[in-house]
Structure 1
Amino acid sequence: MATERYTIPSVVHACEILRLMANSEQGLSMQALEEALSLPRTTVFRLLKTLLAENLLEKRGKLYFSGASLLQLGLQVIHSDRLQHFAIPHIQRLALQTGYTAHLAVPNHGKALIVEVFDSPSPLMVSKRPGGEAQLHCSATGKVFLAFLYADNIELLMEEHPMEKHTDLTITEIDVLEKELSRVRAMGYAVDEREYNKDIRCVAVPVRDSMGTVVAALGITAPAAVFPKGNIQQVSDLVKEAARGIYKDTYQLDRAK
């Protein structure tokens, strides 16, 4: 009872909204939030406007989702989270196996956020550093998220994050992107075919949790000169094997429960 004397109702309601968002991958409408919180529309409206202004939420059409600032705050959790903990040896082994730089990325406010990197034995550093971001339409990890996590919101996402052209090979048309994502879903891996950097080729695969939801993407990055197209299938098999190892080590206990 004493604790309740010092609580601020609006902050409590804001926290309730954030918790609801965390448990809703498909987003929530204002009406759904009104019903869940049993609050007047005007109150919910003001709370949402405040959370949007602080980037703790983002709005796509009529639905609300967790925002960039909330996900950035979550990076501290990610760095101590068991996913990253168990992923590190697999990422390191993948870099040594392939001779290319290996990295782990998570979806973040319409971009792919790099959270772990192991450089290749080669002295040439070609991957973004932890904390760096990549656009979804022209990065291998980004295409993984578009294909397996955002399949129902691709057009809306591309409206909010226009498809910038980086090289002559960058996909900038939605119908071409849709065909590319169909290929990604069929093959189980995505390729950045010198679309972000004309001299760099990347491959990435999804990392799923115990419920089958894509929570990260595991990828490799290398100069196209030392990573020819003919090696893509072989390398993608190694990346898939590493992703399976991450899943097994991280989530096998969940499946056993």
Structure 2
Amino acid sequence: MARRRKQDPDELTAGEHEAPEEERDYSVRAVERVCLILNLLQESVDGITLNEVAQTTGLPKSSAFRYLWTLENHRYVERDEDGGLFRLGLGFVGMQSRHLEILRERARPSLERLRDEFDETANLGLLDGDHIIYLDIAESRRGVRLAAARGDRDPIHCTALGKAIAAQLPEDRVHDLLANAGFEKKTGNTITSEAAYLDELAKVRRLGYALDDRENEDDGRCVAAPLLGTHLPVAISVSGPSSRFSIADAKKAAKVLIEAASGIATNPVGV
């Protein structure tokens, strides 16, 4: 005897195939809910709670959490363990080229002011995969200077930009980044263990800035501050030869960097 097959709710019935075009509804409820969640995340400045997701989608909290967990697993959502908030994740960074260009335009005047004030190179960096990529550079005018080129990549474990950004990420995300990138020993001062690096990140969170003290270059010193208000993994820095850019200079620059980072995050540029 033939068994009756249970119809998949996503399948169209014969009647639906014959219906006029204007009467058809090809929407998938699960996809609609994902779109609702992503729209809610995009509109939020500080992040959203699980309750907000459940209320917006009409889902039970347990189901809403499963949606968020799946999106987080694919890096489209990231979770703040301390505050219980959800934000757009790093999976969208590659899709945000226009946003990054706006950010670069917004940051450029600040980079030039930092360069002129300290007579050293100022940088804007983004976490790209498990490395830092330089989005923009205001290069020092001195003959001897420390400067990368736009588009260059550096490790996260031995750069001030990398530390400043990593300090704002969930610890499990940092663990994954370090597992992928490793701890190449660039100089005698390079941090080469995860425990020591996590201790360094705790210090960065406490001070508000990160320091690379001859860890990426033998004669290089750099100080960086994260751009907290953008919800992108970005930071700005000032770098110079350690023979000229002292620890005292770096600490002085750190205060100005923190103020500049706050200004970049809150002062939009016209598009």
Q: TM-score, normalised by structure 2?
A: 0.64
* Alignment root-mean-square deviation, CA: 4.5
Q: CA deviation at 1:111?
A: 4.1
Change (3 A) 1:19 1:113: farther
Corresponding residue of 1:222: 240
Q: In the aligned structure 2, how far is the partner of 1:156 from the partner of 1:164?
A: 16
Q: Distance in 2 between matches of 1:121 and 1:165?
A: 31
**Aligned amino acid, residue 79 of structure 1:** E
Cα pair distance change 1:184/1:245, threshold 3 Å: closer
Higher Cα Rg: structure 1 or 2? 2
Structure 1 counterpart of 2:214, one-letter code:
R
Cα distance change, pair 143–112 in 1 and its aligned pair in 2 (3 A):
same
Residues in 2 aligned to 1:233 and 1:161: alpha-carbon distance in whole angstroms: 30
Q: Distance in 2 between matches of 1:50 and 1:175?
A: 29
**For residue 212 of structure 2, what is the aligned residue in structure 1?**
192
In the alignment, structure 1 residue 116 sits paired with structure 2 residue 133: no
Q: Distance in 2 between matches of 1:124 and 1:10?
A: 58
Aligned equivalent of 1:87 = 107
Alignment of 1:178 onto 2:195: no
Query: In 2, are the aligned partners of 1:143 and 1:190 still within 8 Å (CA)?
Result: yes
Q: Which residue of 1 aligns with 2:93?
A: 71
* Displacement after TM superposition at 1:125 (Å): 6.4
Q: Give the CA deviation at 1:91.
A: 0.6
Native 8 Å contact 2:34 2:67 kept in 1: no
Note the alpha carbon deviations across 1:204-237, whole angstroms, 9 max, x for none. 1233329xx786322012233433xxx2233332
Match of 1:157 among 174, 183, 189: 174
8 Å Cα contact 1:86/1:246 also seen in 2 = no
1:83-141 Cα deviation digits (max 9, x unpaired): x4342111111112222210122444454343221111135564333344433222101
Q: 1:47 to 1:217 in 2, by over 3 A?
A: closer
1:56 and 1:125 map into 2 onto residues whose CA distance is 39
Unaligned runs of 5+ in 1: none
What runs of 5+ residues in structure 2 fail to find an aligned partner? 1-21, 80-85
Matches within 5 A, 1:212-251: 216-227=234-245, 231-248=246-263, 251=266
8 Å Cα contact 1:203/1:232 also seen in 2: no
2:13 is aligned to none
Q: Distance in 2 between matches of 1:100 and 1:189?
A: 17
Check 1:237–1:7 CA distance in 2 against 1; reply closer, same or farther (3 A cut).
farther
- 1:52-63 correspondence to structure 2 within 5 Å: none
1:150-169, Cα deviation, whole Å (9 max, x unpaired) = 2xx33552244323223232
Report the 3-state secondary structure (helix = DSSP H, G, I; strand = E; otherwise coil) of the residue aligned with 2:205: helix
CA distance in 2, matches of 1:99, 1:75: 30
Residue identity opposite 1:240 in structure 2? K
Residues 146 and 240, structure 2, Cα contact 8 Å, conserved in 1: yes
AA aligned opposite 2:97: L
Structure 2 CA distance for aligned equivalents of residues 130 and 6 of structure 1: 45
Tell me how far 1:203 sits from its aligned partner. 1.0
Retained in 2: the 8 A contact 1:169–1:194?
A: yes
Asked if the contact 2:41/2:48 (under 8 Å) is kept, the reply is: yes
Partner AA of 1:247 in structure 2 = S
Deviations 1:12-43 (A, max 9, x none): 455345445555988999xx98997568999x
Distance 1:11 1:125, change over 3 A: farther
Alpha-carbon shift at residue 71 of structure 1 (Å) = 0.3
What SS does the corresponding residue of 2:227 show, helix, strand or coil? strand
